[in-house]
Chains A and B, each alone.
Chain A
Amino acid sequence: MDVIIENLPAYVDGFLRTLFLSVVSGIIALIFGTLLAAARVSPIAALRGFSMTYVEIVRNTPLTIAFFFAAVVLPRLGVTFQQFEVAAIIALSAYTSAFIAEAVRSGVNSVPVGQAEAARSIGMKFSQVLSLIILPQALRTVIPPMINILIALVKNSSVAGAFYVLELFGYGRQLANANGDAVLWVLVGVAFFYLLITVPLGYVATLVERKVAISR
Chain B
Amino acid sequence: MTALTAQVAEPAPPPPPDAGAPKRRGVELTLLVGAVLISVLGHLHVGLATTGHVPRPAAHYAAGLAVAALLAHLAVRFRAPYADPLVLPIAVLLNGLGLVLIQRLDATTPGHLAAGDQLRWSALGVALFVLVVLVLRDHRVLQRYAYLSVAVALVLMLVPVFFPAVNGAHIWIRFAGLSFQPGEFAKILLAVFFASYLAANRTALALTGRRLFWKLRLLPGRVLGPILAIWALSVGVLVLERDLGTSLLFFGLFVIMLFTATGRIGWIAIGLVLAGLGAYAVGTFEPHVNSRVDDWLNPFASIERGEGPGQLAQSLFAFGAGGLLGAGLGHGQSFLIGFAAKSDFILATAGEELGLVGLAAILILYGLLVSRGFRAGLALRDPFGRLLATGLASIVALQVFVIAGGVTGLIPLTGMAMPFLAQGGSSVVTNWIIVALLVRLSDSARRPAPQEPPE
A is bound by B: no
Chain A residues near B (Cβ < 8 Å): none
Chain B residues near A (Cβ < 8 Å): none
